[in-house]
Structure 1
Amino acid sequence: MSVPKITSPLVSVSWLVEHLSDPEIVVLDASWFLPGSDRNALQEWRDRRIPNARFFDFDKKIAHPAALFPHMLPEPSHFADEVEKLGISNRSQVVVYDSQGVFSAPRVWWMFRAMGHDNVAVLDGGLPAWEIAGNRLEAGEPVSPVAGDFDAQYQPQWVIDGDSLYEKLNTPDVQVLDARAAARFYGTQKEPREGVRSGHMPSAKSLPFGQLLKDGYFLPSDQLKKRFDAVSNVDQRLIFSCGSGVTACILALAAELSGRERLTVYDGSWTEWGSTYKYPIV
């Protein structure tokens, strides 16, 4: 019997408990921590994970190897090769979580969408929610999965580079939303990466990702809609940016949950923009 396709980009712990043993469900731990953290996401996955979860390393392994900026989206062939090693096929129903509730998992949701795989969802509340509900955890080295068969179909509407964004900055049809903390957006707090200027893009608006979450869960869709309606028009193309392209994906997922459809992530985000002196800042 085939597994019903994932119909929402967000699933609950109770949904995952019900479907965890389904043959086409693949659970991914996409935990990642900011530079300077003493936490090791790979080791934490070995120590505590949802049963059968596989570790998705978008920072080093499933990233463009020659990029100048952190964890840039890899070529489709690279992405396909790596997810096949995780046992993922085009028929797989992928559920992604992270150990902070909702933080880095949406990055992997966006990567799959950009590679043409729509059967992917984020676990609302992440690993903390799984534990709070009293569900079993797994530890130790996992059994290697049987290789999958994945054909990546790149979807360019989900991704934009710096030069293309520069050309669209003052276009009424486009609104850039910045997921960084307001202090970083307004330049009153120094950027954490060396050589990156402070401030924001001309015409961008601040929407810190924390305003879309509560206690590690996404706000209800009607509240998310109000957040986006306050900073953009319904018919605009929304382009999301952050420090290095991770929390921008929280905005992208929240926008989809709110009913928005024209969604794009600036992959290089402020690390690229702030360190590239031809790009203007405010």
Structure 2
Amino acid sequence: MRDPQALISTQELAAIVGRPDLRIYDCTTYLEPSPPGSDDPYVAVPGRHTFEEAHIPGADFLDLQGEFSDPATRLRFMMPAPALLAASFGRHGIGDGTRVVLYGIGTMMWATRFWWMLRSLGFDNVAVLDGGLDKWRAERRPLESGEPGDYLPATFTIKPRPGLFTDSHAVKAALGRPDHVIVNALGPQFHKGLEPSRYGRPGRIPGSVNVSAATLMQPTKELIAPTEAEQKFAAQGITKDKNVIAYCGGGISATIDLFLLHQLGYDNLTLYDGSMGEWARDASLPIETG
């Protein structure tokens, strides 16, 4: 893999818990059904309650929608301004000289989303826990309950890495271009428009290919082997000479695709942050089914 330090096993993490420079974060959010009559695709519920029930010793909790997303838009989980984001990370103890480990419950997508955000700010000393809390629990490793750990605030130095996020205008401009490939990380039933979409019009961005994030994870909640992932991407025409735009419903599960593509050595990677939460509701943007 390109960056062995970007993925950490439960065994490796257990060996370094308690190190003074280590910062561990539960990144879990739950997507609950919207109340009747609501135009929102779901209600984003921070996983603070499950964090307080059980977490890896010393960990803190990161609320993606509440503290690490743009408050000025109705779209969920949109990237805030870099300075605002850096200040939030600094308040939670992430900064120069710290080693960060991110994990989630049920899926790795919340951790990979934070990993992608940190990379966009130029922070690379960060790893995603393979298998998350699910694997940690299954191995009967130590757990704590109660309030988050007390990491001291830190100075987060921004070193912008442009191009990791993109918008609907750039995606529309890429439609039909042979040097681009647009990858949908949603399930095949949503990619084909066979089921109603909670985001609006059913279907996909025209010409996009489907590598569902769910197919990139094992039942243990760990990522599949790199060679297997490479085969899945290659089967959809995703090659290293192309510019890859990944999307999903809200810019979260697509970061699993992007994490693996990065690890496989792909360079030209970007996330369509608005994803179907924006695209499907904008009647001026084309959509495809079948």
TM (norm. structure 2) is 0.90
- The residue that corresponds to 2:212 in the other structure is 208
Distance 2:212 2:79 in 1: 23
The one of 6, 10, 15 equivalent to 1:9 is 6
Deviation at 1:257, TM superposition (A): 2.4
CA distance in 1, matches of 2:59, 2:259: 21
Determine if the alignment matches structure 1 residue 251 to structure 2 residue 257.
Answer: yes
CA–CA distance in structure 2, aligned partners of residues 32 and 40 of structure 1: 5
Amino acid at match of 1:17: A
Q: Please give the root-mean-square deviation of Cα atoms over the aligned residues, in Å.
A: 1.6
Once residues 118 and 12 of structure 1 are traced to their aligned partners in structure 2, the CA distance between those partners, rounded to angstroms, is 17
Q: 1:198 aligns with which of 192, 195, 202?
A: 202
Residue 129 (str. 1) matches residue 135 (str. 2)? yes
Q: Would the alpha carbon gap of residues 188 and 159 (structure 1) be closer, same or farther in structure 2, given more than 3 Å must change?
A: same
How far 1:268 sits from its partner (Å)?
0.5
Is the 8 Å Cα contact of residues 7 and 129 (structure 2) preserved in structure 1?
yes
> Of 225, 234, 247, which aligns to 2:230?
225
Q: Secondary structure at the match of 1:78?
A: helix
8 Å Cα contact 1:224-1:257 kept in structure 2: no
Letter in 1 for 2:158: A
Alpha-carbon offset, residue 234 of structure 1: 2.4
How much has 1:143 moved relative to structure 2?
4.4
Q: Which blocks of at least 5 consecutive residues in structure 2 are unaligned?
A: 34-42
Q: Tell whether the 8 Å contact from 2:60 to 2:149 is kept in structure 1 after alignment.
A: no
Equivalent residue letter for 2:226: S
What residue identity is the alignment partner of 2:26? D
Residue 18 in structure 1 maps to residue 23 in structure 2: no
* Counterpart-to-counterpart distance in 1, 2:264 and 2:87: 33
**Cα distance, 1:68 vs structure 2:** 3.1
Question: What do residues 57-87 of structure 1 show as CA deviations (whole Å, max 9, x unaligned)?
Answer: 1112111110231110111111111111111
**SS at the partner of 2:163?**
helix
Determine the C-alpha separation between the residues in 2 that align with 1:69 and 1:188.
24
Which amino acid counterpart does residue 199 of structure 1 have in structure 2?
Answer: G
In the alignment of these two chains, the number of paired residues is 275
Q: Which residue number in structure 2 is paired with residue 118 of structure 1? A: 124
Structure 1 residues 120, 200: CA separation in 2 closer, same or farther (over 3 Å shift)? same
Q: Which residue of the partner structure matches residue 54 of structure 2?
A: 48
Report the Cα distance in structure 2 between the residues aligned to 1:167 and 1:64, rounded to whole angstroms.
Answer: 24
Partner residue of 2:63 out of 48, 53, 57: 57
Q: For residues 14 and 176 of structure 2, what CA distance do their matches in structure 1 show?
A: 46
**Does the 8 Å CA contact 1:102/1:124 hold for their aligned counterparts?**
yes
Contact 1:225-1:259 at 8 Å conserved across structures: no
Gapped runs of 5+ residues in structure 1?
1-5
Contact 1:76 1:153 in 2 (8 A): no
47-56 or 253-262: which moved more?
A: 253-262
Q: Does 1:184 align with 2:181?
A: no
Contact in 2 for aligned 1:79/1:152 (Cα 8 Å): no
Q: Which residue of structure 1 aligns with residue 36 of structure 2?
A: none
Per-residue CA deviation, residues 152-194 of structure 1 (Å, 9 max, x unaligned), is 223222111111111112221111100111111111111124x
- Could you tell me the percent identity over the aligned residues? 28
Aligned-pair CA distance for 1:7 = 4.2
Please report how far the alpha carbon of residue 39 of structure 1 lies from its aligned counterpart in structure 2 after TM superposition: 7.0
Give the Cα separation in 1 of the matches to 2:116 and 2:32: 21
Matching of residues 84-103 of structure 1 within 5 Å: 84-103=90-109
> Are residues 1:269 and 2:275 paired?
yes
Using the size of structure 1 for normalisation, the TM-score is: 0.93
The residue type paired with residue 180 of structure 1 is L
Tell me which stretches of 4 or more aligned residues in structure 1 moved more than 6 Å. none
Aligned partner (choices 139, 145, 152) of residue 139 of structure 1: 145
Q: Is residue 34 from structure 1 mapped to residue 31 from structure 2 by the alignment?
A: yes
State how far apart, in whole Å, the 2-side matches of 1:101 and 1:247 are: 9
Secondary structure of the corresponding residue to residue 67 of structure 1? coil
CA contact (8 A) 2:70 2:81 kept: yes
